[in-house]
């Protein structure tokens, strides 16, 4: 029997099972992500965080279970449907900055806007604005090979946000950054998400970074830790909109 996803959830997953070449990575994960929410997925190395983000962001097909985006099934899409969904609706920042080497920083950031149909001038103006927000405007004309990895990552963050997709996935996005820079980049991600009402799903094994989120779920060995699993099961079974998340007491980031 299959209940419909709650209207309040922009992303909703039930019973996701996923293995990599026979190695189980997710063993039945159910959760909902509310619109405009910043959700942190924490857990030790190898607990399945990247795999979960891969399944939610339509990069990886699930072996079993369901993934829904705005009430439409993702788990039934083929490769090209998933690619289209990713291109048009999702932003993604991985642990390694992946930029197009032939393009300048500004061209890299403008790319998703151009693919979304923006005009050249508007795309480049918006790209310049995002580079400025990430404190890398001075690097606009440089190519990735001319830049340090932490600076490339700032550009990758600008690129993920530039087209203001409804959902941004950030998989350990601060990994290549110096400790002092991590908080700043996280703040920029969080404040961009809040001011533009983007939904942000952040994987990190650093609890200090998870405090930026509205809500945290913890994966252990491919499963949600007990309290979160209970909550997710209830939500999946009842298909009722869940209560708004209580922000953690130490959430330090304000709206903008
Ligand atoms: N491409 C792959 N091929 C084989 N096994 C994989 C692959 N990707 C992940 N795994 C395995 O799946 C499990 C979950 O990995 P995953 O990368 O999702 O965890 P993670 O919590 O994101 O880890 P980390 O914090 O180190 O990034 C681990 O046992 C990992 O070794």
Helices (H), 29-148: 49-56, 79-89, 105-115, 120-133
Pocket test for ligand 1, best of 16, 18, 23, 174 (most atoms within 8 A of CB): 23
Find residue 202's DSSP bridge partners.
40, 170
User: Is 22 close to ligand 1, i.e. is its CB under 6 Å away?
Assistant: no
Domain ranges of the chain: 9-95+160-238
Question: What percent of the chain is modeled with pLDDT above 90?
Answer: 61
Q: CATH class for domain 9-95+160-238?
A: alpha beta
Q: Is the CB of 205 under 6 A from ligand 1?
A: yes
As for the ipTM of the complex, it is 0.96
Q: How far is the CA of 52 from the centre of ligand 1 (A)?
A: 10
Q: Is the CB of 48 under 6 A from ligand 1?
A: yes
pLDDT at 231 over 80: no
Residues β-bridged to residue 201: 39, 169
Ligand 1 atom nearest to CA at 50: 22
Three-state DSSP state, 70: coil
The mean pLDDT of 155-182, rounded to a whole number, is 89
CB of 199 closer than 8 Å to CB of 11: yes
Q: What is the pLDDT of residues 129-165, one digit of tens each?
A: 999 988 899 999 999 999 998 899 899 999 999 988 9
State the pTM of this model: 0.85
Q: What is the mean pLDDT of the chain?
A: 85
Could you tell me if 169 and 67 are in contact, meaning their C-beta atoms sit under 8 angstroms apart? no
97-129 pLDDT per residue, tens: 889 999 999 999 999 999 889 999 999 999 999
d(CA 88, CA 48): 25
Residues 57-75, buried b or exposed e (16+ Cβ, 10 A)?
A: bbbbbbeebbbbbeeeebb
**Ligand 1 mutation pick, 22, 40, 49, max ligand atoms within 8 A of CB:** 49
φ/ψ (deg, to 5) at 217? -120, 150
**For residue 241, what are its two tokens?**
């909109």
Q: Which two tokens stand for residue 107?
A: 């061209």
Atom of ligand 1 nearest to the CA of 52: 18
Judge if the beta carbon of residue 195 lies within 6 A of ligand 1.
Answer: no
Q: How far is the CA of 48 from the centre of ligand 1 (A)?
A: 6
């Amino acid at each position: 029997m299959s209940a419909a996803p709650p209207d309040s959830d922009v992303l909703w997953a039930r019973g996701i099972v996923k293995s990599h070449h026979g190695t189980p990575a997710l063993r039945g994960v159910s959760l909902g992500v509310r619109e405009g929410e910043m959700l942190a997925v924490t857990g030790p190395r190898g607990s399945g965080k990247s795999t979960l983000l891969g399944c939610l962001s339509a990069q990886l097909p699930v072996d079993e279970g369901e993934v829904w985006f705005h009430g439409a099934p993702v788990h039934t899409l083929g490769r090209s449907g998933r690619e289209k969904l990713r291109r048009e609706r999702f932003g993604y920042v991985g642990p390694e900055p992946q930029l197009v080497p032939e393009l300048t920083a500004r061209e890299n950031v403008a790319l998703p806007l151009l693919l979304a149909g923006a005009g050249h001038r508007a795309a480049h103006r918006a790209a310049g604005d995002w580079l400025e927000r990430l404190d890398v405007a001075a690097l606009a004309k440089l190519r990735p090979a001319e830049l340090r990895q932490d600076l490339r990552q700032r550009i990758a963050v600008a690129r993920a946000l530039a087209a203001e997709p409804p959902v941004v996935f950030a998989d350990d996005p601060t990994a290549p950054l110096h400790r002092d820079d991590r908080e700043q980049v996280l703040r920029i991600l969080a404040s961009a998400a809040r001011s533009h009402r983007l939904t942000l799903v952040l994987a990190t094994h650093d609890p200090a970074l998870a405090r930026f989120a509205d809500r945290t779920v913890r994966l252990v060995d491919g499963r949600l830790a007990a309290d979160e699993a209970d909550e997710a099961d209830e939500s999946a079974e009842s298909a009722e909109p869940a209560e708004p998340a209580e922000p953690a007491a130490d959430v330090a980031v304000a709206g903008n």
